[in-house]
Amino acid sequence: MNRPVLSVLVVEDHPTIARQIVDFLDGLGWQLDHAGTGALAIRLATEQPYDVVLLDLNLPDVDGLQVCRAIKAGAPSNVPVLMLTARDAFEDKAQGFREGADDYLAKPFDLREVALRCEALARRGTLHQRQELRVGPLTLLAREKRALYEGKPLPLTQTGFSILLLLCREHPHPVSRSMLVQHLWGAHPPDSDALKSHIYTLRKVLEQASGRRMLATILQLGYRLDLDGNDNG
């Protein structure tokens, strides 16, 4: 039986372990990218689609659980995350699953099992991946990076779409400024207050489409979609 060719992001800061994983999976003919930091992992995973993300929890810059949350919130598709970690206590595993992990493998592990779990997660992702996200009158087509309001296209920039996608995924909860900045630019945000400008433009587009204020500013928290007309921020 022919094995599928998968696109995998390996997030591991230990050079020897990373090389072992990459070499083994590359030997299967898979397409591999490697990130040694959480910031790079978030940038790669939110810029391009992967079949699976292999995520080590112990990273030098950002906790792996935060990386998992950011990838789940910002990836262009609902990519499965397989956590690889020495934290094998039940509570560690439970927290990993609560933060969005799809599977969990404790170190040390057999690389053959890593490959088998990747294949299983990729099959599951293909079967259950949501191509559309519907939140009230909004429809977001993640793969096409298009947004509709009551079936009519919204004139959004790519950055505006990325912001709206994160707001829709988190609705009805607010999204913090820091989470948005991390989602858009990773560890290298622009010097100017670019986020405020993008929020302003997105707010105007939504107001023109709906006839009311749909993007609320929540003081000391961030921003949230207001689909009921109750927020005055």
How do residues 20-38 score in pLDDT, each as one tens digit?
A: 999 999 999 999 999 999 9
Q: What percent of the chain clears pLDDT 90, i.e. is strictly above it?
A: 41
pLDDT of residue 204: 96
pLDDT tens-digit series, residues 99-149? 788 888 888 889 999 999 999 888 775 544 556 788 899 998 877 788 999
Please check whether residue 57 is in contact with residue 81, taking contact to mean a CB–CB distance below 8 angstroms.
no
Which residues, in sequence order, are CB contacts of 169 under 8 Å at separation 6+?
A: 73, 133
- 141 in Cβ contact with 161 (< 8 Å): no
Tell me the domain boundaries of the chain. 7-128, 132-225
**CATH 3.40.50.2300 holds for 7-128:** yes
Return mean pLDDT, the chain: 85
- CA-wise closest residue to 51 among 21, 71, 25, 81: 81
pLDDT tens-digit series, residues 162-214: 899 889 888 888 888 888 887 787 667 787 688 999 999 999 999 999 999 99
Give the HSE-up count for residue 65: Cα atoms under 13 Å, Cβ half-sphere: 9
Quote the pTM value.
Answer: 0.56
pLDDT at 89 over 80: no
Domain range 132-225, CATH architecture: Orthogonal Bundle (1.10)
